[in-house]
Chain A
Amino acid sequence: MAGDAKDFKTYVRPYLMVFGVLMLGTFLTVAASWFDFDAHFGSHWVNMTVGLLIAVTKASFVVLWFMHLISEKQLIYLVLGFTCFFFVGLMGLTVWAMQDFPNFTTLVGLD
């Protein structure tokens, strides 16, 4: 893919745009933490949800563009399909297990 500097600039432009998006996302992550959404919406999970949504968006840009998953081979998608299945399963089991709190938890030695 040998080419001149102009071709290179065109080729890497999407990467530089993703860089801009990631920097903006980082700023938004910090800025969102300054606001107490939990108090405003009366829930313990709004700040967490907003923070994680921004993180997932940033992660998607890294995975799709920097790791080239936007145009990858079938076998890689297959491997990642299994990974997603097990990862989602792991998180699902985690959330499911949260139902155990506090009924099956004994709190001792807090000091």
Chain B
Amino acid sequence: MEIPYNSKPRPDTGLYNAKVGIWLFLASEVMLFGALFSSYIMLRVGAPEGTWPAPGSLLKVGPGAFNTVVLILSSVTVVLAWASLKFNNFKQYRMFQGITIVCALIFMCVKAYEYHDKFTHYEIVLKEGVTHYEGISHGTGVRSHLNLVDGHLVNQTEDEITLTVHPHHDDHAGHDHGAEAHPEEHDGDHSGHDHAEHAHGGHDAIQVTVRKSDIAKMESYGPWHSTYLAIYFTMTGLHAIHVIGGAFVIFYIWGPGAKMWKTDPERYVNRVEVSGLFWHLVDLVWIFLFPILYLL
């Protein structure tokens, strides 16, 4: 038995089945992300003074903005691909939707780079009384009472960990530092750290080797690090799953599923439209995620 209104619209509603289905699904998606946005508001408003990171201090705006442009571009190519099919131009559809898939891959690569950057970014709390690292160690924000070394992982052995530290770039909570860093003023003989300096943009990035016996607590900037990073990874992680899912469906329709264009073109166009609607929701969510997580 043939399912009615699979490709032709139902006369009274003017809609085919999948169109109603995808909008109901998108409605549930709005509520899913709505719950996370609500959590974000609660966490941010409830965060104690100075614990929420200053805009741009933990996440680089550049990759986030680049990904925004990539997703917007992919939204346009999705709609152009659909319009191409409406004009019976399958070759052009293939080109536009191919660009969409490439955009999805680029987005995920940038996201992977950002995640990797956070998972290799360490905050080390030194033991009380350890003074070898003075000048490069200082607390930030609400943790200004702690003796911290903050930087990206270079190397780790059984006894030591080496980080690249940007001494003037640790103000994550937007507050004054406990102490300014002046690594060039230090006596290397007693410190146990290695001042192998190398240039990183305009900052004086230095490599610091910390003895593990001097460490009270060490933690990367993963979701466990702070409330902000917990909600950042939750929201962007869920969004990334949507990007992967959407890209997979678009790829299937673009590649193996394209046979339908010859057997049932109307239904095929409907499939492209429905997958496109989902993709626009993915773009829509990112339009809000980018400012609240990276800029505000």
The chain A residues found within 8 Å of chain B, CB to CB, are 1-3, 7-8, 11-12, 15-16, 18-19, 22-23, 26, 29-30, 32-33, 47-48, 51-52, 54-55, 58-59, 62-63, 66-67, 73-76, 79-80, 82-83, 86-87, 90-91, 93-95, 97-98, 101-102, 105, 107, 110-111
- Taken residue by residue from 118 to 155, chain B's Cβ proximity to chain A (1 for < 8 Å, 0 otherwise) reads as 00000000000000000000000011011000000000
Whether, in the assembled complex, B258 has its beta carbon less than 8 Å from a beta carbon of chain A, the answer is no
CB-based contact A15/B80 at 8 Å: yes
B46 in complex: contacting residue of A48, A74, A101, CB < 8 Å: A101
A93 to B38, CA, bound (A): 9
CB-based contact B87/A63 at 8 Å: no
CB-based contact A98/B69 at 8 Å: no
Chain B residues near A95: list those with CB within 8 A: 41
A11 in complex: contacting residue of B55, B87, B277, B292, CB < 8 Å: B87
Q: DSSP majority for the B interface?
A: helix
Whether, in the assembled complex, B295 has its beta carbon less than 8 Å from a beta carbon of chain A, the answer is yes
CB-based contact B15/A75 at 8 Å: yes
In the complex formed, the residue of A with least CB distance to B277 is A67
- Residues of B in contact, count (CB < 8 Å): 55
Closest 8 CB pairs of A and B: A33-B295, A83-B27, A51-B291, A94-B38, A19-B76, A2-B88, A1-B86, A73-B14
Chain A residues near B55: list those with CB within 8 A: 33
CB-based contact B295/A29 at 8 Å: yes
A58 to B68, CA, bound (A): 12
Given the known A-B contacts A7-B87, A12-B83, are A63 and B142 also in contact in the complex, defined by CB atoms under 8 Å? no
A91 to B84, CA, bound (A): 39
Whether, in the assembled complex, B284 has its beta carbon less than 8 Å from a beta carbon of chain A, the answer is yes
